[in-house]
A and B are shown apart, each in its own frame.
Chain A
């Protein structure tokens, strides 16, 4: 696929250079700044040979590109064997929900915006949408696939090198289309399994009265939309925050995840991401403080 892109790009550049030189050669030195009526009108040659040769020559890269395209397409769409991991990714205004599937229902878990995958293994991504059409794209790992309500599209990811790959929604989806990023974090398989085991666990119960108060405030103010497994917060329209401390970014890769940005986001999401569906909550300063401290325990 990468070779095809480069190949097509090189053909394209070659054609542009050839035609530009042809036009320049016809004009520079030959074109005259004279009174037009002083230049006689003559047919000269009929020139049809130009067209047949030109079209003939340019058909060669066309046929090459066509055959190359179809064979790459056939290779890409051939069954890739059994996926090592299956992830259901749901696009929503303006974040990504990732549900890691497993034959054992107890090992199914949900996270958001940061998708971990094992290196060197094919990962199947099953795409759907909670609202409007979005498009799932990790430029360094492959092409785009739309998430369309009412249908499930399948794409594959495979990262051979460990690292963090940025992804982004690429189908216009409303106000915050610009801030609908996600990360794909490719880890060596052993590390990935550890991460998976940690994510499956519910949140750690509060260990102090302050934490318990924070948990209660969170459940009261945030629980209708967000889920923290192991608490009363069970909303499903916003990101699952059970292990939010394990994530490096906030608000679909809009902010780095730090104490200050987390507080700022809870206090006034509309200032950071105008139009986002998270409302500005009517909460006092100390309450905000308690909620933030509670979230910081969710590792």
Chain B
């Protein structure tokens, strides 16, 4: 938090006593390109995250379709092996790193301060930095792809195949440096979420009153802070092996090939949970809106979110069951991988109970959330099968696992995300998405997805290995592959319908009003779209569903939304205690700033210097980062970082 001032006790007033235009003047971002480059508004940044991640989703989708054409029939020669390898590797990199996590960061960035009754994230400039670096690192890695040097050893990038003797081109250098760069974005973003969760909740919003989405993102963020260093280290060691002659992975010089796999999966598996837990949170928060009742089992679901992550740190070896590790180790990781389904089962039964004990109203968002329960179960049980070591020895590296990972990533990430788009699009834009087109959108994606990926389990059981650019007719995989290709195009059509719906509804959608779904959480108390300051006064929260209190009648205490602290001495929001949410400080929030953008430009130059061995450029980049940081961190009186001392 940029600065704290404790001297003043803020006055409490009705929101009508706080002029809108004054707050607007304090919080608004200046129009035009200048504002675009300097804005630190979480809603602006959240939307950018969502749009950028969605663009990457479309790119990754097109890559997948090209591969599906190649695999539609046996012995096709549409793609060379190298083209296929770059496509499948870039597809994985795009979907896992540039879509799945950033899209959730986008939703959380946009929603958190609104949900938590705050005016921005704890570190608004850091938030901007996290977006800019995400964009820059994504462009950096795609620059490699554009010049024919995309990653070509899979997103998992095993050594020694990715080491220089077997891969002398720039492909892996682009990927390695890009991943280290992206790690900066993930790390600062995660730190921001953690502090925002702990310190900027509205007064009265104790830790057991936050929506499950925030539990999901918090848990994912803690995991990211702990595990991203592992993958950044792995890529750093690999880059040094490749470019400055170290031997961490070089077997001929006493290095270890398996070291890479441990470092990568220690990160990689927790990451899988990090890219589903916030999406599961969306379902936990979204389903109750359409079932007209609170979520069944708030506490067990919140705790199971945390439990999943804790167990998630202890399962990485299930990616390495075939590497010849001792059976005792395999048994431990096999057990952990089976047990981790227990907290998932908690969520599944909480969701089904919410449907059964509620009065479901069928909307497109509801269909996405409810169908996700089934897809989640399919992805879960196929994971449970591969958790069993002897079964995994058959299934691993076949299309069974491809089916599994897509049920996890599409089922547990993309479906909740599209549901989330239908749920929150009205909040973000002030207009409703078209429900009729929405049904077409849902059924096309649902049928297309299952047509593509359900038979794929069978393809795997019939022995088709992953990552092969073609296969002979004699193997008997033709029919299944053709079905998958047809399904994938249907799925793509569904996504296209979503795009059409978004684009037309942006202009012609029905006006939404503040709370079109009659939902119960705090974001729906703001106008749609919310003003730059979110809330005219800081609300006081008395329950998990501030807008449903009068109907649930569970306590006499009521949340106060129209009366609260007036914080209008510059950009201010309330700071509160981590557990109870007692207000304890006024947080002085920073103005818009170019520093995050400039830092990103300088860092990008630095990474280009490392890539091209232009050491002077790398040094210029470092110097630029230093300058940007100095500007950024220069103490400001307005933020309470500097005070005038009177000399006597």
Contacts and interface: CB of A to CB of B under 8 A. Distances in A.
B613 interface: no
Interface in B262-309: 289-290, 292-294, 296-297, 300
A37 B161 contact: no
Interface residues on A, range: 35 or more
Interface string B357-376: 11111110010001101100
A42 B397 contact: no
Interface string B308-327: 00000000000000111001
B356 A11 contact: no
A162 to B, nearest CB: 20
Contacts of B551: 40-42
B357 A170 contact: no
Nearest to B289: A36
A170 B374 CA distance: 30
Nearest to A8: B385
Interface stretch (B96-104, B131-139, B467-475): B467-475
Name the prevailing secondary structure of the B interface residues: helix
B391 A19 contact: no
B357 A47 contact: yes
B393 A144 contact: yes
B601 to A, nearest CB: 36
Interface stretch (A146-154, A182-190, A194-202, A229-237): A146-154
Interface stretch (A57-65, A110-118, A206-214, A239-247): A57-65
A106 interface: no
Interface in B432-477: 463, 465-471
Given A44-B293, A132-B160, A54 B378 contact: no
B390 A4 contact: yes
Interface in A1-47: 1, 4-5, 8-9, 11-13, 15-16, 19-20, 22-23, 25-27, 30-34, 36-37, 39-47
A13 B378 CA distance: 8
A120 interface: no
Contacts of B428: none
B384 interface: yes
B352 A11 contact: no
A36 B467 contact: no
Nearest to A48: B297
A74 interface: yes
B389 A73 contact: yes
Contacts of A26: 352, 355-356, 360, 370
Interface stretch (B105-113, B191-199, B341-349): B341-349
B66 interface: no
A1 B335 CA distance: 17
A131 B166 contact: yes
Contact of B352 (A50, A62, A127, A168): A50
Interface in A129-180: 131-133, 135, 137, 139, 142-146, 148-151, 153-154, 168-178
A70 interface: yes
Given A26-B352, A51-B297, A170-B465, A73 B331 contact: yes
B29 to A, nearest CB: 33
B85 interface: yes
A39 B290 CA distance: 9
Contacts of B18: none
B377 A36 contact: no
Interface in B361-414: 361-363, 366, 370-371, 373-374, 377-378, 381-382, 384-385, 387-394, 396-398
Nearest 9 A-B pairs (CB), nearest first? A143-B393, A54-B349, A50-B353, A153-B324, A47-B296, A178-B468, A26-B355, A12-B381, A150-B251
21 contacts: A16-B381, A20-B377, A25-B356, A30-B355, A30-B356, A30-B360, A32-B359, A41-B293, A41-B552, A47-B296, A48-B296, A58-B345, A62-B338, A66-B339, A76-B390, A143-B393, A144-B396, A172-B154, A174-B161, A175-B85, A177-B465
Given A22-B356, A50-B297, 17 more contacts: A1-B394, A5-B390, A16-B374, A27-B355, A36-B517, A40-B292, A41-B292, A48-B296, A69-B390, A70-B331, A132-B166, A142-B393, A150-B251, A153-B324, A172-B154, A174-B161, A177-B468
Interface of B: 80-82, 85, 153-154, 158, 160-161, 166, 251, 256-258, 289-290, 292-294, 296-297, 300, 322-324, 327, 330-331, 334-335, 338-339, 341-342, 345-346, 348-350, 352-363, 366, 370-371, 373-374, 377-378, 381-382, 384-385, 387-394, 396-398, 463, 465-471, 516-518, 520, 548, 551-552, 554
